[in-house]
């Protein structure tokens, strides 16, 4: 045990280097900055949006429209009427755009039940997500005017009529079922809430598993390259102890870095959602509670076990792949199949429901040990515990099998003699 | 008299390649035995088998009466091996590396201190021991590794090309260290393709070529037998 701890300490000291820490700290800082930026932009969007307006109609209805927009969180600046091109040319963008023009004859046209056109001018400076959100905000102008004007037109033309009823005679009352639980909530609202809470889980799983695998494979390859491995193998220390120290050391460091990433992602999510991602709408909270869509402490333990075993599986496979690498440079090549194996469940669970895939694809996903923590987070939320437990058992079996294989390789000549050769075979024997 | 090492008809095959074709030799207690031969002769394979990191295809190896196949763990406690062109852990300082290796050799903290003191004396790197091993020159790294190899005063030291790639001064210092260690009673098995170095260091030598030991004896015996001025001439005459 003492020698295991000595080796473990050495593994951790070798892994935690400035070269390893700096990119992670930079990443966490970048995530926090992006989160902060998003938060500021989101706040900016909540403040009244400036709109310039030219009222060519000068009617009671056009005045009504201005009031509707002001009530709808728009700050209106009225511009003098004139040729649009001249106005744009003579004044800077911030004094003219975005611009809404209420055309002359709008009121008369509406009274004749003729649809009217309101012109909206806006300048496009980029095609980023935030600029499109801002544009979307401006689209609200027409929706707001329509909603209010149609109510007024109905009230004016049909006495005693309820405009809401006439516009929406049928409304939906959506119910969602999970297991035996039922809640009165829209599916899209529920999906949005769940995604904001769980979106970061697969990303963290993906990063942690890949990072752990890379670390252990590089550690083994570095030992081979520096021939420190030969020294260790000829020292009075068990081969299993060497394997175990490498697995545990890389696992601890990977979990440590995962905590850093979690912190970074949390700041990022907080920036986007303005909170920790948890819903604030009381009706939504009630629906989530009714459906049992909350992680309890037992659920977190199950997810943690599944994740830890997936990391151990990745480490056990990566340690074998590290042996195949001739040097540290070769690690990326030998580890590629493992990365693909991790990417498959990551992307599939991101876009599909695994249970609806074709049987071949479904069982292929189940056969990959790294699929199970991805699937576990979804299954736990839907109280489907049997696949989670079976997944954990499967991961444990795979881990034991690969540890046995790794120990056998470490106890044989293969630890020094096997390597992947990419040299072309001779076409002709001399 | 107990033999430090007995190698008998040792063979090693890597797939189609037969690296060792049945070599036999012995090393006495406190003796420096040199295995000399060109690159690819099978020296490193033989040393790795004796250091318990490769298994023999056939034949036997006993180290102080322990059999390499049955008692590998016991052998690891009394030997120390320095691979050719080995490095230290790059992110550990020289002193941290020596402390780590002392803790690998023994759990006893008093003994660890004793090993460390001895290694610091042998390495003779003074204040540079506090620096990370990745900042060391080749000569400094080799001295650190020699210190690591002998720190536990093993009964058998196995050195693969101990001065390979070193400048004259560093090679000279390391040769002197090896001679001093043998005087302290440690047995040394060393390999080199540098015949003059082997002649200078070894009491007895074995000339190995293409997986076979062609002849063993003291340098003087071999030079006399082959009427040569040095071991290089012996080797050339053996292969002509």
Which chain A positions have a beta carbon within 8 Å of B87's beta carbon? 225-228
Name the closest residue on chain B to residue A238, using Cα atoms: B73
pLDDT at A427: 41
Please state the φ and ψ torsions of residue B67, each to the nearest 5 degrees. Answer: -85, 135
The distance of B237 to chain A (nearest Cα, Å) reads: 31
Q: Cβ contact (<8 Å) for A416 and B85?
A: no
DSSP percent split of chain B into helix, strand, coil, nearest 5: 40, 30, 30
How does the average pLDDT of chain A come out, rounded? 82
SS3 B151: coil
Is the CB of residue B13 less than 8 Å from the CB of residue B19?
Answer: yes
Both tokens assigned to A66: 């201005």
Give the ipTM.
0.91
User: Does a structural domain hold residue B16?
Assistant: yes
Name the closest residue on chain A to residue B55, using Cα atoms: A413
Which chain A positions have a beta carbon within 8 Å of B103's beta carbon? 2-3, 6
Instruction: Name every residue in A having a CB less than 8 A away from some CB of B.
Output: 2-3, 6-7, 9-10, 13-14, 17, 222, 225-228, 230-238, 412-413, 416-417
Which chain B positions have a beta carbon within 8 Å of A246's beta carbon? none
Domain CATH number, residue B61: 3.40.50.300
User: Does a structural domain hold residue B205?
Assistant: yes
Both tokens assigned to B135: 């900042």
Q: With bands split at pLDDT 50, 70 and 90, how would you rate the model's confidence at A426? A: very low
Report pLDDT digits (tens) over B130-150.
Answer: 999 989 988 899 889 989 998
pLDDT at A273: 61
Report pLDDT digits (tens) over A179-233.
Answer: 788 888 888 888 877 776 666 677 777 888 888 888 888 888 888 888 888 899 9
pLDDT at A430: 36
Which chain B positions have a beta carbon within 8 Å of A2's beta carbon? 103, 107
The distance of A426 to chain B (nearest Cα, Å) reads: 16
Cα separation, B188 vs B34, whole angstroms: 8
Is the CB of residue A378 less than 8 Å from the CB of residue A296?
Answer: no
Q: 0.80 cut: is pTM over it?
A: no
User: Does a structural domain hold residue B131?
Assistant: no
Cα separation, B72 vs B55, whole angstroms: 10
SS3 A194: helix
User: Does a structural domain hold residue B224?
Assistant: yes
pLDDT at A221: 87
pLDDT at A429: 40
User: Does a structural domain hold residue B229?
Assistant: yes
User: Does a structural domain hold residue B30?
Assistant: yes
How many domains is chain B partitioned into structurally?
1
Side-chain half-sphere CA neighbours of B53 within 13 A:
27
Is the CB of residue A408 less than 8 Å from the CB of residue A319?
Answer: no
Q: With bands split at pLDDT 50, 70 and 90, how would you rate the model's confidence at A425? A: very low
pLDDT at A135 over 80: no
Tell how strand B187-192 and strand B32-36 pair up: parallel
User: Does a structural domain hold residue B112?
Assistant: no
User: Does a structural domain hold residue B149?
Assistant: no
Quote the domain boundaries for residue B52: 3-90+154-238
Which chain B positions have a beta carbon within 8 Å of A238's beta carbon? 73
Q: Cβ contact (<8 Å) for B104 and A236?
A: yes
Report pLDDT digits (tens) over A351-388.
Answer: 777 778 888 888 888 899 988 888 887 788 777 889 99
Report pLDDT digits (tens) over A199-211.
Answer: 667 777 788 888 8
Report the pLDDT averaged over residues A248-258: 84
């Amino acid at each position: 045990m003492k020698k295991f701890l000595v080796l473990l300490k050495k593994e951790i000291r070798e892994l935690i280097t400035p070269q390893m820490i700096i990119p992670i700290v930079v990443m966490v800082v970048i995530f926090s900055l992006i989160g902060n930026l998003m938060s500021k932009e989101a706040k900016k969007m909540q403040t009244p949006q400036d709109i310039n307006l030219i009222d060519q109609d000068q009617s009671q209805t056009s005045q009504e429209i201005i009031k509707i927009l002001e009530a709808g969180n728009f700050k209106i600046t009225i511009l003098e009427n004139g040729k649009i091109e001249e106005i744009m040319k003579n004044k800077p963008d911030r004094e003219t755009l975005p611009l809404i023009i209420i055309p002359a004859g709008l009121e008369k046209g509406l009274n004749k039940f003729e649809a009217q056109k309101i012109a909206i001018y806006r300048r496009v400076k980029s095609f980023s997500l935030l600029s499109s959100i801002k544009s979307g905000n401006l689209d609200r102008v027409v929706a707001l005017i329509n909603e209010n004007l149609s109510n007024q037109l109905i009230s004016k033309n049909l006495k005693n009529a309820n405009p809401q009823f006439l516009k929406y005679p049928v409304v939906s009352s959506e119910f969602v079922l999970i297991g035996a639980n039922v809640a009165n909530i829209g599916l899209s609202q529920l999906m949005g809430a769940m995604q904001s809470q769980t979106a970061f889980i697969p990303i963290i799983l993906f990063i942690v598993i890949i990072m752990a695998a890379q670390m252990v494979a590089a550690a083994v390859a570095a030992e081979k390259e520096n021939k420190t491995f030969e020294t260790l193998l000829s020292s009075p220390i068990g081969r299993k102890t060497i394997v175990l120290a490498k697995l545990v050391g890389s696992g601890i460091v990977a979990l440590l870095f995962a905590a850093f990433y979690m912190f970074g992602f949390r700041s990022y999510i907080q920036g986007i959602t303005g909170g920790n991602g948890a819903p604030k709408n009381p009706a939504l909270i009630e629906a989530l509670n009714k459906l049992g869509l909350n992680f309890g402490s037992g659920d977190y333990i199950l997810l943690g076990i599944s994740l830890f075993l997936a990391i151990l599986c990745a480490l056990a496979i990566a340690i074998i792949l590290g042996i195949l690498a001739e040097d540290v440079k070769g690690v990326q090549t030998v580890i590629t199949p493992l990365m693909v194996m991790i990417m498959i469940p990551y992307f599939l669970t991101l876009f599909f429901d695994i249970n609806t895939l074709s049987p071949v694809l479904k069982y292929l996903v189940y056969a990959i040990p790294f699929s199970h923590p991805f699937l576990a987070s979804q299954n736990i939320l839907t109280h489907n515990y049997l696949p989670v437990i079976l997944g954990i058992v499967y991961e444990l079996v795979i881990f034991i099998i690969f540890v046995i294989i790794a120990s056998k390789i470490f106890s044989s000549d293969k630890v020094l003699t096997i390597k992947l050769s990419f040299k072309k075979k001779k076409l002709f024997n001399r | 008299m107990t033999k430090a090492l007995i190698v008998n008809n040792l063979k090693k095959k890597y797939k189609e390649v037969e690296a060792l074709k049945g070599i036999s030799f012995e090393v006495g207690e406190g003796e420096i035995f040199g295995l000399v031969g060109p690159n690819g002769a099978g020296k490193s394979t033989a040393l790795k088998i004796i250091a318990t990191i490769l298994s023999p295809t056939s034949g036997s190896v006993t180290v102080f009466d322990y059999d390499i196949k049955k008692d590998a763990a016991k052998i690891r406690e009394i030997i120390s091996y320095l691979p050719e062109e080995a490095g230290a852990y790059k992110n550990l300082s020289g002193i941290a590396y020596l402390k780590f290796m002392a803790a690998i050799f023994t759990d006893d903290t008093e003994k660890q201190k004793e090993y460390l003191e001895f290694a610091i004396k042998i390495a003779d790197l003074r204040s540079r021991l506090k620096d990370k091993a990745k900042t060391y020159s080749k000569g400094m790294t080799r001295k650190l590794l020699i210190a690591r190899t002998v720190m536990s005063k093993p009964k058998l030291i196995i050195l693969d090309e101990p001065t390979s790639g070193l400048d004259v001064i560093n090679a000279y210092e390391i040769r002197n260290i090896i001679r001093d260690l043998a005087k302290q009673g440690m047995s040394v098995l060393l390999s080199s393709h540098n015949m003059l170095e082997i002649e200078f260091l070894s009491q007895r030598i074995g000339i190995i070529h293409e997986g076979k030991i062609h002849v063993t004896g003291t340098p003087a015996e071999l030079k006399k037998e082959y009427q040569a001025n040095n071991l290089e001439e012996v080797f050339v005459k053996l292969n002509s």
